[in-house]
């Protein structure tokens, strides 16, 4: 039975409540629009429920457990450090619940109408939302923002089961595996490999390319690989996994390594080979929204699709699949709909991997700056020369500042080291503000802090380094 066949009219309809969708909804409401947001699963989307937040909670739990076992070089020893993984999972779920509840409260506080169900376009200005018990309601909109996110890519040779899963399943295991195989050496796979290694797993990472973490510079990836190797993680590159056999006790992965067939036994298998945009069940083809061969929605600099009143943001459009990119795009789309002169500019969007050590990059690398036609200077400062890093007993890494050679304008940076994810924000601000290396070098940074590394790298850039020769 169909209920509510008469379409309800709204100013802006948003499909998806992830970090792109809910931010767009709030911003649109702030700008005076009547907003309805549609979510088929959990408020907060992948990021809050099975992505960014639970993974970082698990990573932090791994750090805490590792530190609880003592640090010999600091004179700290501990006996019988124990791990109750069910409590770890309970704590992680509590973090997720608090944040998803917060998102719902923010939406309601901004008078956004929340609708649970699955959306399908029936016209260029109408969406039909199917809820529970096959009930449906149509919504006629002036503008629509599609923010449906992505899902892990599943490979036919590795059907999902209790022992074979994607990142979603890896975050919900009921036990810490004694042995874990990870297919995919990208940031998600390597983050989870590090987390479970700290929790006590023997981890093997299989990567088809010549090295892991290809989204970051080679030297940065080498730091991570060296650190995780010291924790017992095995990396097999140029490896092509071809299948898995499953028993009640575990799994056996078949893998071709440079032409040689190998078998690797483990308790669980994590398949982490990328994500697929959720655009295939929206009815986009029948309303004329242009989509690429990869399923990404084509948009312009204002995030408008080929249908003027429909916008798209987040993992379903071109660019890195990052929560903060989606949030940024959500604000831009909401502002464009409201008549503001906004458009996307991705130069200041950071890339971050919560590996060991953390990796972060913003703006240009040396290579991308050269390709863009810039004459640049790369200025490095090591964490080993920073007092705070030494006192943390975590001094692997460096900051590399990329400046324009003729005037010292900051156009990029790469950071590998503790708190790189936080440190990169200062460089992002410097890029957005059009600051030079001298501007940063002359900014007083508190001592002793990791933030001083940014100042010191800037001093290297202007030729006045104090703490390195």
Q: Which residues are catalytic?
A: 447
Asked if 305 contacts 287 with a C-beta cutoff of 8 angstroms, the reply is no
Q: φ and ψ at 284, to 5 degrees?
A: -65, -35
Across the beta sheet with 234-237, what order do the strands follow? 164-165, 268-271, 179-183, 202-207, 234-237
Asked if 284 contacts 198 with a C-beta cutoff of 8 angstroms, the reply is no
Tokens 């971050």, residue located: 352
Q: φ and ψ at 422, to 5 degrees?
A: -85, -40
Strand partners, 454: none
What is the helix (H) or strand (E) element at residue 411, kind and residue range?
Answer: strand 410-416
d(CA 122, CA 137): 11
Q: Which long-range contacts (CB under 8 A, 24 or more apart) does 222-229 make?
A: 223/357, 223/396, 223/397, 223/416, 224/190, 224/194, 224/353, 224/355, 224/356, 224/357, 224/359, 224/416, 226/396, 227/356, 227/357, 227/396, 228/190, 228/193, 228/194, 228/197, 228/203, 228/355, 228/356
Question: In angstroms, what CA-CA distances link 287 with 305, 309, 310?
Answer: 11, 12, 10
Residue 302: DSSP 8-state: T
Angle at 234 between CA 228 and CA 237, to 5 degrees: 110
Q: Among candidates 431, 459, 432, which has minimal Cα distance to 443?
A: 459
Tokens 């990169």, residue located: 424
Tokens of 375: 């004459």
């Amino acid at each position: 039975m169909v209920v509510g066949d008469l379409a309800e009219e709204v100013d802006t309809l948003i499909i998806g409540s992830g970090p792109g969708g809910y931010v767009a909804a709030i911003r649109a409401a702030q700008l005076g629009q009547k907003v309805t947001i549609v979510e088929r699963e959990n408020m907060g989307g992948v990021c809050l429920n099975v992505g960014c937040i639970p993974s970082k909670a698990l990573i932090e739990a791994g750090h805490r457990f590792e530190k609880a076992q003592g640090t010999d070089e600091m004179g700290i020893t501990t006996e019988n450090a124990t791990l109750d993984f069910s409590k770890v999972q309970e704590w992680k779920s509590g973090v997720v619940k608090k944040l998803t509840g917060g998102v719902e409260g923010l939406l309601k506080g901004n008078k956004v109408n929340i609708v649970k169900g699955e959306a399908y376009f029936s016209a260029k200005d109408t969406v039909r939302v199917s809820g529970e018990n096959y009930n449906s309601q149509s919504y006629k909109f002036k503008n629509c923002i599609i923010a449906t996110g992505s899902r892990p890519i599943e490979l036919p040779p590795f059907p999902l089961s209790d022992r074979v899963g994607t990142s979603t399943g890896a975050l919900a295991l009921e036990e810490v595996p004694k042995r874990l195989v990870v297919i995919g050496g990208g940031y998600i796979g390597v983050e989870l490999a590090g987390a479970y290694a700290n929790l006590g797993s023997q981890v093997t990472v299989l990567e088809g390319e010549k090295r892991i973490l290809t989204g970051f510079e080679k030297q940065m990836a080498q730091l991570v690989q060296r650190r995780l190797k010291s924790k017992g993680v095995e990396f097999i590159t140029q490896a092509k996994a071809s299948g898995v056999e499953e028993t009640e006790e575990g799994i056996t992965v078949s893998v071709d390594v440079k032409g040689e067939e190998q078998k690797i036994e483990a308790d669980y298998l994590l398949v982490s080979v990328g994500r697929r945009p959720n655009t295939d069940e929206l009815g986009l083809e029948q309303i004329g929204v242009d989509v690429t061969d990869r399923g990404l929605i084509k948009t312009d600099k204002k995030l408008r699709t080929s249908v003027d009143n429909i916008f798209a943001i987040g993992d379903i459009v071109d660019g890195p699949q990052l929560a903060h990119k989606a949030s940024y795009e959500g604000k831009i789309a909401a502002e464009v709909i409201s008549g503001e002169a906004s458009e996307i500019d991705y130069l200041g969007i950071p890339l971050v991997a919560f590996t060991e050590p953390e990796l972060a990059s913003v703006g240009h690398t040396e290579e991308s700056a050269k390709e863009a036609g810039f004459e640049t200077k790369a200025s490095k400062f090591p964490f080993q020369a920073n007092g705070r890093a030494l006192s943390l007993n975590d001094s692997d890494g460096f900051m590399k500042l990329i400046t324009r050679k003729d005037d010292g304008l900051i156009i990029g940076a790469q950071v590998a080291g503790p708190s790189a994810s936080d440190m990169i924000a200062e460089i992002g601000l410097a890029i957005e503000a059009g600051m030079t290396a001298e501007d940063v070098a002359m900014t007083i940074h508190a001592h002793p802090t990791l933030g001083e590394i940014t100042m010191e790298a800037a001093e290297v850039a202007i030729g006045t380094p104090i703490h390195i020769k």
